[in-house]
Amino acid sequence: MFGFWVFLLSALLALVPSCSRPGADNQPAWSVQLKITGGFTGRGNGSLRLAADGAYLYEPPAIPNSGRKPCDGKLTAEELTPVTRAINHVQPKNWNLAKLKVAAPDAFGYELELRSDPKATPIDVVWYDNTSDQLPDDLKQLSEVLKQTMENVKKKCPG
């Protein structure tokens, strides 16, 4: 009987490495950056760069002599899930619409850069708050998720 248990445990241990974290190396390596510029004061609302592993860099609005510095960190899996879900549903070929690039006075400008992997050519799109009602649904969803993530990250940053 002892020999059976030794055999069974040996077989299970041999299988364990192949079972650990399936597809971990196949995870997408996307990155996304949202910059919010302009507005009434002209200084915008900051910038958020986010990677598929949850690493972020938040840069606050440019306020002269404010002493505010960029802050970085890592989102939890729960915080990252809505962003990943939105990115998985994007169809960027429908994003570059001329009607999105018409700014009203004092409008906030949005610049989004999406990379499907580090070697890929970035997908860039620009729009303004006065044209955000004309965004394609997938871009609108991604921008809303990123703006909410930026607000959450701001709370983690000093200053």
Task: With respect to residue 53, please indicate whether it lies within any of the assigned structural domains.
Answer: yes
The overall pTM is greater than 0.75: yes
Number of separate domains in the chain? 1
Task: With respect to residue 112, please indicate whether it lies within any of the assigned structural domains.
Answer: yes
Query: What per-residue confidence (pLDDT) applies to 23?
Result: 45
CATH number at residue 125: 3.30.1560.10
Query: What per-residue confidence (pLDDT) applies to 113?
Result: 97
One-character DSSP codes across the chain: -HHHHHHHHHHHHHHHHHHSSTTGGGS---EEEEEEEESSSSB-SEEEEEETTSEEEEE----TT-----EEEE--HHHHHHHHHHHHT--GGG---GGGG-PPTTPEEEEEEEESSTTSPPEEEEEEGGGGGGS-HHHHHHHHHHHHHHHHHHHHS--
Domain limits for position 47: 27-156
pLDDT tens-digit profile, the chain (159 residues):
444 443 434 443 444 444 444 444 566 689 999 999 998 888 888 999 999 999 999 999 876 666 668 999 999 999 999 999 999 999 999 898 888 989 988 899 999 999 988 888 999 999 999 999 999 999 999 999 999 999 999 999 886
Task: With respect to residue 11, please indicate whether it lies within any of the assigned structural domains.
Answer: no
Query: What per-residue confidence (pLDDT) applies to 25?
Result: 53
